[in-house]
Amino acid sequence: LICLSVGPGAGQDVGRSCILVSIAGKNVMLDCGMHMGYNDDRRFPDFSYITQNGRLTDFLDCVIISHFHLDHCGALPYFSEMVGYDGPIYMTHPTKAICPILLEDYRKITVDKKGETNFFTSQMIKDCMKKVVAVHLHQTVQVDEELEIKAYYAGHVLGAAMFQIKVGCESVVYTGDYNMTPDRHLGAAWIDKCRPDLLITESTYATTIRDSKRCRERDFLKKVHETVERGGKVLIPVFALGRAQELCILLETFWERMNLKAPIYFSTGLTEKANHYYKLFITWTNQKIRKTFVQRNMFEFKHIKAFDRAFADNPGPMVVFATPGMLHAGQSLQIFRKWAGNEKNMVIMPGYCVQGTVGHKILSGQRKLEMEGRQILEVKMQVEYMSFSAHADAKGIMQLIRQAEPRNVLLVHGEAKKMEFLKQKIEQEFHVSCYMPANGETTTIFTNPSIPVDISLGLLKRETAIGLLPDVKKPKLMHGTLIMKDNSFRLVSSEQALKELGLAEHQLRFTCRVHIQDPRKEHETVLRVYNHLKGVLKDYSVQHLPDGSITVESILIQATAHSEDQGTKVLLVSWTYQDEELGSYLTSLLKKGLPQSTS
């Protein structure tokens, strides 16, 4: 039985992934994301819904993080250092390396902008990362004796993984975010035909068939090129790591091919660190990058240089990658202020911006922005939005289902309406149940696990002695005593079970009283009964014992006169549980009364 609760968090909004899976008595939390649109408690999931009683550390067997994006890992230091979860956390090696950079980056922006104190500290991020166990792709990790997990390549971002969670013969696959088409620096997601009981898949683009990424890339290069050609400056606000590197490769290759001279800068020392990780985890990138690695490392850029704040005032064209990505503080915002007034310049927003940020404002078309001190900033520069996010589209999701062949599918991380459409498609095509619970709703899925049972040699020998040779193709019914001990099952003979468990054998007998109208003496009634049974039960051994009782196989029948009514005789029928069938039959036979002619 798999019980699953999606959430915590209210509404069906994007962001803040956190899923709880209960599988065969094990509880696993999948991802621990934060919502960047809030500045208060609402940014973190409400973990009090995970367990009503007891400590989280006792309740959860492990936490798994699929990749380093903050909507999947942003609440982790809060969870482990402030809420107090102290159990194991799993993620891939690149995620473990990169996660703290993004968390630190976000912490600094939060503290910088709002002076917030109720937020995790650098020390907490480090302490949290020290608890993380890093895993390799396709490595089966034994969390405890029963629970095992295995990571599969998910594309999306460096180090992103899908996880298979397995307890006994029950299993769940959680995809996290993934994409099924290789991009400029990463490969496509892949999973083997693991036939899980449940596949939990993201469905961000549940109804979209996305145009090829090549088109978007061409579009991007064209815009940058045009701006630079006319002497304008291009600002690309990015987060420290992820999409930035993809765009860097894109520009670097283009600059090389077109022999362009305009400088490209990358802010605040992030390149070195990011590129260091891309080099370190080169096996996680796509084939092309790996192949060319020997001659030329794609992450060692010739044209991209470190940015200094004084460069912003330099005349002439340039391209600058600056953090943070939503234009809400720090360097990217400062450069934006300087360049916004010139229509020759351009800002390209490569990702989502939350409400309230300058990024959000300009993307929604606002051109007069009020800055500090009531100054009005007029935005004359061009504003472009380019989506480079690497999620699977509807086709990709179907493809993954085809690969993994799950028995059930559960959609998360998407809009209800679009998910409904996809759900119908999945159910139609694959004939499996598809669920799409709202956040906070629990989905229970029943599985029919086949449980392996060891059979004792003695019992097996006894059965084969009767001529029942074991045969895979012909299942046989076998009787024995099932011993469940320390999570293993064994079928043994009842004698052996008694011996092993140190128990004494008890005989269980069923008894039943049948009233018969017969005025004769007791022994005469017994004789009538004996004759009747002997006549009816020809194949059975029916005996009349000297003490006046009758036996039919192991069944015993005795007659006594009714204490109040001498005309009624009471037959006491008693049998062992092994002869339950015969016993019941006999009773029903006797209840019909004795035939008149047998006197």
Q: Which residues are identified as catalytic? A: 202
Rank residues 389 and 531 by Cβ distance to another protein and give the closer one.
389
* 3-class DSSP state of 146: coil
Rank residues 345 and 493 by Cβ distance to another protein and give the closer one.
345
10 part of the interface to another protein, by CB under 8 A: yes
Residue selected from 311, 385, 421, 430 as contacting another protein according to rule CB under 8 A:
385
Cα–Cα dist 310/316, whole Å:
14
- Residue numbers 269-288 binding another protein by CB under 8 A: 269, 272-273
421 part of the interface to another protein, by CB under 8 A: no
Residue selected from 26, 69, 233, 544 as contacting another protein according to rule CB under 8 A:
69
- The distance of closest approach from Cβ of residue 64 to another protein in the complex, given in angstroms and rounded to an integer, is 17
Cα–Cα dist 150/142, whole Å:
9
263 part of the interface to another protein, by CB under 8 A: no
Non-local (6+) Cβ contacts of 340 within 8 A are: 347, 377, 378, 379, 380, 381
Task: Please give the backbone phi and psi of residue 440, each rounded to the nearest 5 degrees, phi first.
Answer: 90, -10
Task: Please give the backbone phi and psi of residue 165, each rounded to the nearest 5 degrees, phi first.
Answer: -115, 125
Non-local (6+) Cβ contacts of 582 within 8 A are: 540, 552, 553, 555, 575
Rank residues 361 and 544 by Cβ distance to another protein and give the closer one.
361
86 part of the interface to another protein, by CB under 8 A: yes
- Residue numbers 290-329 binding another protein by CB under 8 A: 309-310, 312-313, 328-329
486 part of the interface to another protein, by CB under 8 A: yes
- Residue numbers 158-197 binding another protein by CB under 8 A: 177
Indicate the burial class of 110 (C-beta count within 10 angstroms; 0-12, 13-18, 19 or more): middle
442 part of the interface to another protein, by CB under 8 A: yes
Assess contact for 41 and 434: CB atoms under 8 A.
no
**Which amino acid is it at 283?**
T
Q: Binding pattern to another protein, positions 326-345, x when CB under 8 A?
A: --xxxx--x--x--------
- The distance of closest approach from Cβ of residue 506 to another protein in the complex, given in angstroms and rounded to an integer, is 23
DSSP state of 553: T
**Which amino acid is it at 419?**
M
Which tokens sit at 46? 């409400």
Residue selected from 365, 467, 502, 546 as contacting another protein according to rule CB under 8 A:
365
226 part of the interface to another protein, by CB under 8 A: no
204 part of the interface to another protein, by CB under 8 A: yes
Residue selected from 2, 4, 12, 340 as contacting another protein according to rule CB under 8 A:
12
Rank residues 280 and 457 by Cβ distance to another protein and give the closer one.
280
Where does this chain touch another protein (CB under 8 A) — which range of 229-237, 249-257, 362-370, 510-518? 362-370
Non-local (6+) Cβ contacts of 389 within 8 A are: 204, 243, 351, 352
Rank residues 125 and 526 by Cβ distance to another protein and give the closer one.
125
Residue selected from 215, 416, 482, 545 as contacting another protein according to rule CB under 8 A:
416
Cα–Cα dist 134/555, whole Å:
67
35 part of the interface to another protein, by CB under 8 A: yes
Residue selected from 38, 119, 421, 430 as contacting another protein according to rule CB under 8 A:
38
- The distance of closest approach from Cβ of residue 155 to another protein in the complex, given in angstroms and rounded to an integer, is 13
83 part of the interface to another protein, by CB under 8 A: no
Indicate the burial class of 308 (C-beta count within 10 angstroms; 0-12, 13-18, 19 or more): exposed
- Residue numbers 97-116 binding another protein by CB under 8 A: 108, 111-115
Strand order of the sheet with strand 140-142?
A: 140-142, 147-153, 161-167, 170-174, 198-202, 408-412, 433-435
